[in-house]
Amino acid sequence: MANPQFNVTLDDIFRTTPVGPIQSSIGGVFYGINHRQTPTPIPINKDTNGLTFFVRPQLNLSNENIRNERKFIPLLTKEPSSIQRIIRSYLDPRLSNSDPLTFGSPFVDNTNAFIPLLTNHLISCSGWPDPVLETFTSRPGSHKEVFGYVDSNIDQYSSFDLTANFRNMSGDPITLLFYTWLTYQANVFEGILSPYPDFITNNEIDYNTRIYRLILDKNKKYVQKIGAVGACYPISVPLGGAYNFEHDVPFNQSNENISINFRCYGYTYNDDIVIKEFNEAVNIFNPSMRDSYINSNMQKIPPEGLALFNNRGYPRINPRTYELEWYVSKDQYVRLIGEYDRSSDVLNQSIQEPRTLDYSFDNSSDNTKINKIGKVATTSAQTTNTNINGFI
């Protein structure tokens, strides 16, 4: 019998080496058993930690309401750039939207559904539960035989606690934000403060928030995993540590990092309904992000422009491709791009045609000119008797 003929490719040659096949390495892992146990040249998973979003609550911090709590008097400040006004705008978006000049702040985007201060300073967020199934096991038979089956739901709606650690900043705004949040919750329970009437009518809790976790790919472009709690609210704030005293330590380091516990109810992992709910939360605060208006009012930021628009933009998860898209208004896009182009033109012109600065001194025959990037352009090596104090 004649020997069989094989059409050998480069991939077939690598298949017999410790390197393994190159072009079909990923497909081969899914298709069949690696019975030769050759190493596969497949890169390890390198998803980034992604982003964590905290939805703004709907506290009632109107003037008439907070006057009932003495601790909230500083929130009545008329200084729009103060930390108190920023916190008030974060926690009561309804009030800041009703009259931005009176109750808003230039550092708070009223059309943003989330609290950027918490997202930008988050260090860790731990305590997310693993999906676990409960099982039933029968009584042993005459030969100790048993059988069992799953008798629980994979979707869990019980309570659990999340711990979020934040890197604090000058002015300690994170501690003040959560202390205001907790104080409001306690006063609503005691009847000292009242939610907005529609929350009372609908029997809704106005101090709830929702935490979204987005796991992104290595380029931070696509959502690899998404999860969210059903609802949650903070239950502790580490304010007591700020009053500790140690003589040997010049600065109080107890509030450099802020640890906040959230009481959460239920969670959802990797369900497309979470993408819909995430986008809907963005749409509620910014109606221009709705599908019927987004093409006419908003501009998607291209990947090469994301650095220019950092700290700006509204997120949207594409439900078909899972791409995390960022949008700004068309007016803002045109304005910033125009400013960037003008700055680039000036910079390029300065580099291509450097402006010459004359640093010659009076009564001196030394005529030295130095260009913009610090190189000597022309030097007249004539003798001078001028004494230039401070340069010798």
Residue 254, pLDDT score: 75
d(CA 332, CA 313): 10
Residue 1, pLDDT score: 53
pLDDT of 27 strictly over 90: no
Sheet holding 314-317, edge to edge: 298-300, 324-329, 314-317
Residue 325 confidence class, pLDDT cut points 50, 70, 90: very high
Residue 352 confidence class, pLDDT cut points 50, 70, 90: low
Per the structure block, which two tokens stand in for 267?
């969670």
Residue 7, pLDDT score: 66
Residue 361, pLDDT score: 42
Residue 286 confidence class, pLDDT cut points 50, 70, 90: very high
pLDDT digits (tens, 9 = 90+) for 158-214: 999 999 999 999 889 999 999 999 999 999 999 999 999 999 999 999 999 999 999
**Whether 366 contacts 384, CB under 8 Å:** yes
Residue 13, pLDDT score: 61
d(CA 92, CA 149): 49
Residue 378, pLDDT score: 35
Residue 206, pLDDT score: 96
pLDDT of 15 strictly over 80: no
pLDDT digits (tens, 9 = 90+) for 250-265: 787 777 899 999 999 9
pLDDT, average across residues 257-279: 95
Average pLDDT, the chain: 84
pLDDT of 382 strictly over 50: no
Percent of the chain whose pLDDT exceeds 90: 61
Residue 341, pLDDT score: 66
pLDDT, average across residues 259-273: 95
Residue 302, pLDDT score: 92
